[in-house]
């Protein structure tokens, strides 16, 4: 087994680990009780999984083909930057459109804050 | 060897997309479906990257950047629509 084969195997294992993380995040997305928990599972872990896959692809073309792709680099940077932001926007929209929290939930600090801000506006 | 590992990771990706499609169909509220669409496009990016390794082809990298940008814009537009009722506000 030559060096290039070992590097190829390592990169394939990085990609496999990334997709397994994505599968675990999808299991969390099905099984957790309310939208906030589900978005917690899917946004963090699927960002991590796609970063593993894209970094594996980047290293594959960098090491084995001697091809530095600035487009793929920008894609990694952009996915890393925008995926948590879009999850934040969706969850804020969900909270302000009165989506209920799970019944197991014991504390809701944002509710008091929103109520006091609404009272100040009146 | 590497080919079979990549096929295995494509299989896991298929399971992920199936689970997200289940939540997209069943999910009780609208923000949940938008979140599912966002996660779906993130996983499609991973699928495109795996296929570009499998085919040893560098022609799909624009596609990764493009899907990332389009899914971000779409998710922000949906979020603003759910929160305010309009996407572009008038003075």
Residue A61 Cα distances to A53, A56, A67, A78, angstroms: 13, 9, 5, 19
pLDDT tens, residue by residue, B20-74: 999 999 878 889 999 999 999 999 999 999 999 999 988 899 999 999 999 999 9
3-class SS of residue A108: coil
CB contact under 8 A, A86 and B53: no
CB contact under 8 A, B82 and A93: yes
Query: A32 and chain B: CB distance < 8 Å anywhere?
Result: no
Decide if A41 contacts B39 (C-beta within 8 A).
no
Residue-level pLDDT at B83: 87
pLDDT > 70? residue A57? yes
- Sort residue A27 into left (φ over 0), alpha (ψ -120 to 50) or beta: alpha
Nearest residue in chain A measured CA to CA from B4: A12
How many Å lie between the alpha carbon of B90 and the closest alpha carbon of chain A?
20
pLDDT > 70? residue A54? yes
pLDDT > 90? residue A14? yes
**Total-model pTM:** 0.88
pLDDT band at A1 (very low <50, low <70, confident <90, very high): low
Task: Residue A89: list chain B partners with CB under 8 A.
Answer: 75-76, 79-80
Tell me, what's the ipTM?
A: 0.89
Decide if B27 contacts A36 (C-beta within 8 A).
no
When CB atoms are compared, the residue of A26, A74, A90 closest to B65 is A74
When CB atoms are compared, the residue of B9, B15, B27 closest to A15 is B9
CB contact under 8 A, A9 and B50: no
With a CB cutoff of 8 Å and minimum separation 6, the contacts of B71 are A86, B37, B38, B41, B42
């Amino acid at each position: 087994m030559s060096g290039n084969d070992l590097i190829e195997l390592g990169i394939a294992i990085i990609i496999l680990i990334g997709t397994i993380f994505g599968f675990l995040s999808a299991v969390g997305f099905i099984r957790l009780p309310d939208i906030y928990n589900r978005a917690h599972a899917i946004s963090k872990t699927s960002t991590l999984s796609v970063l593993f896959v894209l970094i594996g692809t980047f290293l594959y073309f960098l090491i084995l083909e001697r091809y530095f792709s600035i487009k793929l680099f920008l894609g990694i940077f952009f996915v890393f930057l925008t995926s948590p932001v879009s999850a934040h926007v969706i969850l804020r929209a969900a909270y302000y459109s009165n989506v209920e929290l799970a019944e197991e939930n014991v504390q809701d600090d944002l509710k008091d804050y929103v109520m006091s801000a609404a009272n100040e506006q009146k | 060897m590497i080919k079979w590992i990549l096929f295995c990771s494509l299989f896991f990706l298929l399971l992920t997309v199936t689970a997200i499609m289940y939540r997209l169909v069943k999910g009780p509220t609208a923000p949940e479906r938008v979140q599912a669409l966002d996660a779906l496009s993130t996983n499609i990016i991973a699928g495109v990257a795996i296929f570009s390794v499998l085919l040893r082809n560098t022609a799909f990298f624009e596609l990764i950047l493009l899907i990332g940008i389009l899914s971000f814009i779409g998710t922000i537009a949906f979020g603003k629509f759910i929160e305010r009722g309009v996407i572009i506000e008038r003075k």
